[in-house]
Amino acid sequence: MVTAEADAHARAVLAKSARENFPVAPRFLPRAWRDDLMAVYGYARLVDDIGDGDLAPGGQDAAYLGLGADQDADRLALLDAFEADLRRVFDRTHAAPGHPLLRALGPTVDRRHLTPEPFLALIEANRQDQKVRRYRTFDELLGYCELSANPVGRLVLAITGTATPERIRLSDAVCTGLQIVEHIQDVAEDLARDRVYLPAEDMDRFRVTEADLSGPTAGASVRALIAYVSERARELLASGDPLTRSVHGRLRLLLAGFTGGGRAALRAVRRTGYDVLPGPPRATKRELLLEVAATLRREGREG
């Protein structure tokens, strides 16, 4: 039974969807899709909150996962407990999941015949965040995105019943691009957590040091680096354009919202002169709508 406290706790996590670069489950979608997309979002948001250390010490999440107040300071312990609770979603011979967001995920898993692999990959990405805090090459960063971002797109395709090998390939490009956009926006926030997602080889190329990333504003070399990485993200988003063309109706609009949201965020970054150090540049609603419309016009011309 879901208590009022558990329901309120779950809703607080889901409310974070308003901070994303794109609408997670817009109202124009069928209700069943919206419910399932939000269930997956709640899972992904919570596992990221665990990996980022954003949960209150001694908080309710640890209690739901069966951990005491002295254990939940260890993010790896929390991730292990979260994985054990996730496995209860798929193994109905044991007790029901303890966390309300995982209990809410169960009906989605059943309706859409989802498998554990993409959910486990998101946990593994957050484990990696505890151990790997720098990436030497762009290829290494792409390997991280394979765990941290691409499973979400695959789940969207599974929920909407549109997964094919080619769509999965294109979705992976889009999701990786969106993840890199977030890394660009969050350079200062990530550095405060002792994480740098800008590849070291790119920093070396532009003669940027970590000290350069810690200032209140970006110098010319940092701006040039951010512009370069932004172009890489833009190319990844563009490589996924055929994905939007391959579907129809409201799903096409949803996918245009995802890629348009990434492009709008890059527009916001460009608007700052590629100075992301004062804080994450955020697109306005107008910029988002313009980019979604541009995506749909592009698809219409090329489709």
> Cα(159)–Cα(59) distance, rounded to whole angstroms?
31
> Cα(280)–Cα(154) distance, rounded to whole angstroms?
27
Dihedral sign from CA coordinates of 129, 38, 105, 61: positive
The domain locations on the chain are 1-131, 134-303
Residues 6+ apart with CB under 8 A from 290: 264
Residues 6+ apart with CB under 8 A from 13: 42, 45, 46, 49, 101
* 8 Å CB contact between 95 and 88: yes
Closest alpha carbon to 163 in 103, 120, 125, 117: 117
> What phi, psi does 282 have (nearest 5°)?
-120, 140
CATH numeric code, 1-131: 1.10.600.10
Please give the chain's pLDDT, 303 residues, in tens.
Answer: 455 566 555 556 666 555 666 667 888 999 999 999 999 999 999 999 999 988 766 678 888 888 866 655 688 989 999 999 999 999 877 788 999 999 999 999 999 999 999 999 999 999 999 999 999 999 999 999 999 999 999 999 999 999 999 999 999 999 999 999 999 999 999 999 999 999 999 999 999 999 999 999 999 999 999 999 999 999 999 998 999 999 999 999 999 999 999 999 999 999 999 999 999 999 999 999 999 999 888 755 555
**What pLDDT, on a 0 to 100 scale, did the predictor assign at position 2?**
52
Integer CA distances (angstroms), 85 to 108, 168, 251, in order: 16, 27, 31
1-131 and 134-303 in the same fold: yes
**What pLDDT, on a 0 to 100 scale, did the predictor assign at position 302?**
57
CATH numeric code, 134-303: 1.10.600.10
**What pLDDT, on a 0 to 100 scale, did the predictor assign at position 54?**
84
